[in-house]
């Protein structure tokens, strides 16, 4: 008797195709439900993959629309009212899509929240999550199976209409009831900054501001083609780059997206590249560290990245040397360095603010660092031996938007003069959710947003130099902490990116600069050599005395999007979480 083995999941499931089979529209809709109504007429959609690259769910937009409308009725059937907030701890899966768009059809305000960050600690995570839920004044919270066991600790005492897993939500009845008409000015979702901890502030994004941004991203920034484009992403859906860039934007211009779980990317970064190769992905983004993780390993045999036309970089300061290493590593696999697309954005602008022109690769500007620190002007180095810093140009502001670099008096500055970056346009947030005072600090009556970023203009493109709140001022010099971090990570072979966090402390009548450095060695001699090398390097290259503290691997805090968070590192240091005996004066 002959037996036949059961078909595998891959044999049963087929991914949603690249082609949508319909006329491309670029986000010209009044609301996200209207956009999904149109996308559902085609054959594009989401493909949900495991961290190993196994297809778990194929979700065409046509199916998603039906399921989202059912979910909307379940939510309204609980007694939720239009405008109520629904917090969704966001796993990169079909359940998140069904619930997020269910909120859109129901007129509810979705509030995507982060999953735990590796090495972040359960207690700190629960505190942050509860703070976000309270800030959103959420009426319901959906918690994925991966942390379902923490539900009671997350929601205790919050008085919610619903708190449970997607499975529990989908088991609720979906009464036969009409869904509300969605107005463009209505809130679509709240976006919490990936750095929101002590005072979480939800960025209010309306349907019209969100649609303005995704339309500009698709039509002007990415220049999505009529046929052939496909997105591949591991970016978190609780962060603006993942949510807007690779969840909302593709749907509003009828693109198929292959989604990988964020929490597994660091362990298997090459699955991202494999999916791009296998499915002929053309658009994929990452912060610099994602490219670094991939570049540490050789290309897999047979991988073909020649299809990748937009290799975007955003979400953090862009490190050109990392991108150069990636391009060199994967050139033999067909990767074209001209595919790199630097961009600049933030949640308060929905996502994108500027893009460099496509097919231009990474454009850099090398400046005289001492002159920059003392004079606030980014001029070219006076001599080849002058200490310098290389910045990446982040492109021109999106059409219909404005961008200025201003001095402290609010006067627009000339090219190469350092100041604060201001933006305005139809993509800007309505404000921080029910925080009028905080909103008024950054958004003026003329619609200009103070981004909190420092930078300068160069031939119509913006160059971002750092966050104003991170700036260290010593003896009249403006020192950027990332300059010291990059110097250590570049000149000390034992260090990798995100191994160093630099910040300042006020001690009496002067400012002390502290560098926390992750050290993987246990040998006391090796540790002492690393500490001494870092102190000497900072003194030699930057002329600044730095107190160096060696900390264990994986202890420097990161945001949910993988960025180093200096503010939290500073707080941890002040709270005694790093050993003082390792300090070097």
- pLDDT in the model for residue 8: 52
Distance CA(526)–CA(516), nearest Å, equals 16
Is residue 317 pLDDT above 90, yes or no?
A: no
The residue-averaged pLDDT of 8-33 equals: 88
Last residue of a domain, which of 445, 468, 491? 468
The residue-averaged pLDDT of 373-380 equals: 94
The string of pLDDT tens digits covering residues 436-474 is 999 999 999 999 999 999 999 999 999 999 888 888 888
- pLDDT in the model for residue 312: 97
**58-63 CB contacts, 8 Å cutoff, 24+ apart:** 58/13, 58/14, 58/15, 58/16, 59/16, 59/94, 59/97, 60/16, 61/36, 61/251, 61/254
The residue-averaged pLDDT of 203-230 equals: 98
Q: Cα–Cα distances in Å, from 88 out to 46, 64, 383, 514?
A: 18, 17, 54, 37
Per-residue b or e along 457-494, where b marks 16 or more CB atoms closer than 10 Å to that residue's CB = bbeebbbbbbbeebebebeeebbbbbbbbbbbbeebeb
Is residue 179 pLDDT above 60, yes or no?
A: yes
- Does some domain include residue 322? no
The residue-averaged pLDDT of 151-166 equals: 95
Task: Let me know: does 331 contact 304? Beta carbons within 8 Å.
Answer: no
Asked which of 39-53, 329-343, 472-486 is least confident by mean pLDDT, the reply is: 472-486
- pLDDT in the model for residue 417: 98
Confidence of residue 198 (pLDDT cuts 50, 70, 90): low
Confidence of residue 563 (pLDDT cuts 50, 70, 90): confident
Q: 461 and 527: one domain?
A: no
Last residue of a domain, which of 268, 302, 325? 268
Is residue 9 pLDDT above 80, yes or no?
A: no
Q: 454 and 521: one domain?
A: no
- Does some domain include residue 323? no
Confidence of residue 187 (pLDDT cuts 50, 70, 90): very high
Is residue 585 pLDDT above 50, yes or no?
A: no
Is residue 364 pLDDT above 50, yes or no?
A: yes
- Give the distance from CA 180 to its chain's centroid: 32
Q: 386 and 411: one domain?
A: yes
Which residues pair with residue 417 across a beta bridge?
Answer: 377
- Contacts of residue 241, defined as CB under 8 A and 6 or more positions apart, other chains included, come to 235, 285, 314, 315, 345, 351, 561
- pLDDT in the model for residue 1: 42
Asked which of 120-129, 229-238, 267-276, 527-536 is least confident by mean pLDDT, the reply is: 120-129
- pLDDT in the model for residue 387: 87
- Pairing outcome for strands 402-406 and 419-424: antiparallel
Q: 412 and 490: one domain?
A: no
The residue-averaged pLDDT of 182-208 equals: 86
Q: 460 and 480: one domain?
A: no
The string of pLDDT tens digits covering residues 87-106 is 999 999 999 999 999 999 99
Asked which of 433-437, 499-503, 570-574 is least confident by mean pLDDT, the reply is: 570-574
- Does some domain include residue 297? no
- pLDDT in the model for residue 75: 98
Q: 51 and 188: one domain?
A: yes
Helices (H), 137-198: 151-155, 166-170
Q: 439 and 517: one domain?
A: no
- pLDDT in the model for residue 504: 87
Distance CA(23)–CA(447), nearest Å, equals 35
pTM: 0.88
| Total tally of structural domains belonging to the chain | 3
- pLDDT in the model for residue 572: 86
Out of 56-70, 478-492, 505-519, give the one with best mean pLDDT: 56-70
What domain range is 99 assigned to? 9-268
Match 């949508």 to its residue by tokens: 20
- Does some domain include residue 321? no
Q: 432 and 501: one domain?
A: no
Task: Let me know: does 165 contact 141? Beta carbons within 8 Å.
Answer: no
The residue-averaged pLDDT of 150-161 equals: 95
Is residue 579 pLDDT above 90, yes or no?
A: no
CATH code at 211? 3.40.50.12780
Q: 397 and 262: one domain?
A: no
The string of pLDDT tens digits covering residues 380-432 is 998 988 888 899 999 999 999 999 999 999 999 999 999 999 999 999 999 99
- pLDDT in the model for residue 548: 93
Average pLDDT of every residue of the chain: 91
Is residue 560 pLDDT above 90, yes or no?
A: no
- Pairing outcome for strands 477-479 and 472-474: antiparallel
Q: 402 and 512: one domain?
A: no
- Does some domain include residue 502? yes
Is residue 196 pLDDT above 70, yes or no?
A: no
Is residue 574 pLDDT above 60, yes or no?
A: yes
């Amino acid at each position: 008797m002959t037996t036949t083995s059961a078909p595998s999941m891959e044999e049963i499931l087929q991914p949603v195709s690249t082609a949508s089979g319909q006329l491309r529209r670029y986000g010209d809709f009044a609301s996200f439900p209207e956009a999904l109504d149109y996308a559902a007429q085609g054959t594009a959609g989401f493909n949900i993959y495991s961290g190993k690259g196994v297809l778990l769910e194929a979700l065409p937009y046509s199916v998603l629309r039906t399921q989202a409308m059912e979910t909307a009725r379940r939510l309204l059937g609980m007694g939720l009212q239009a405008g109520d907030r629904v917090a969704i701890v966001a796993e990169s899966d079909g359940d998140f899509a069904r619930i997020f768009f269910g909120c859109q059809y129901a007129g509810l305000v979705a509030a995507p929240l982060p999953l735990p960050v590796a090495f972040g600690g359960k207690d700190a995570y629960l505190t942050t999550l509860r703070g976000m839920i309270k800030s959103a004044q959420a009426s319901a919270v959906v918690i994925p199976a991966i942390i379902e066991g923490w539900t009671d600790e997350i929601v205790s005492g919050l008085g919610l209409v619903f708190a449970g897993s997607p499975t529990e939500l989908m088991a609720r009845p979906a009464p036969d009831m009409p869904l509300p008409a969605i107005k463009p000015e209505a809130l679509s979702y709240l976006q919490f900054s990936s750095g929101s901890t002590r005072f979480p502030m939800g960025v209010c994004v309306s349907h019209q501001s969100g649609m303005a941004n995704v339309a500009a991203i698709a039509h002007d920034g990415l220049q999505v083609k009529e046929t052939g484009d496909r997105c591949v992403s591991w970016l978190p859906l609780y962060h603006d780059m993942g949510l807007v860039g690779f969840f909302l934007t593709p749907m509003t211009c009828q693109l198929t997206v292959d989604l990988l779980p964020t929490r597994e990317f660091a362990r298997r970064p090459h699955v991202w590249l494999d999916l791009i190769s296998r499915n002929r992905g053309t658009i994929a983004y990452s912060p610099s560290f994602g490219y670094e993780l991939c570049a540490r390993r050789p290309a897999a045999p047979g991988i073909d990245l020649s299809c990748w036309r937009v290799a975007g970089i955003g979400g953090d300061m862009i490190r050109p040397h990392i991108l150069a290493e990636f391009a060199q590593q994967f050139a033999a696999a067909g990767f074209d360095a001209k595919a790199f697309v630097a961009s600049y954005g933030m949640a308060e602008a929905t996502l994108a603010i500027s893009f460099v022109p496509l097919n231009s690769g990474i454009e850099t500007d090398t400046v005289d660092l001492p002159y920059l620190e003392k004079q606030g002007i980014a001029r070219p180095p006076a001599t080849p031996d002058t200490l310098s810093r290389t910045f990446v140009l982040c492109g021109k502001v999106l059409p219909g938007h404005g961008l200025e670099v201003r001095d402290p008096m609010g006067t627009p500055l000339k090219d190469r003069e350092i100041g604060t970056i201001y933006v305005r346009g139809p993509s800007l947030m309505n404000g921080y959710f029910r925080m009028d005072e905080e909103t008024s600090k950054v958004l003026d009556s003329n619609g200009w947003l103070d981004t909190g970023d420092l930078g300068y203009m160069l031939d119509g493109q913006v160059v971002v130099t750092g966050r104003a709140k991170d700036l260290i001022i010593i003896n009249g010099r403006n020192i950027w902490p990332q300059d010291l971090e990059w110097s250590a990570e570049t000149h000390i072979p034992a260090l990798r990116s995100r191994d160093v966090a630099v910040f300042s402390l006020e001690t009496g009548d002067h400012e002390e600069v502290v560098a926390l450095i992750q050290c993987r060695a246990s040998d006391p001699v090796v540790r002492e050599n690393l500490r001494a090398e870092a102190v000497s390097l900072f003194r030699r290259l930057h002329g600044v005395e730095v107190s160096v503290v060696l900390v264990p691997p994986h202890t420097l805090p990161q945001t949910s999007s993988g960025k180093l968070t200096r503010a939290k590192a500073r707080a941890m240091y002040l709270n005694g979480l790093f050993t003082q005996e390792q300090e070097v004066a």
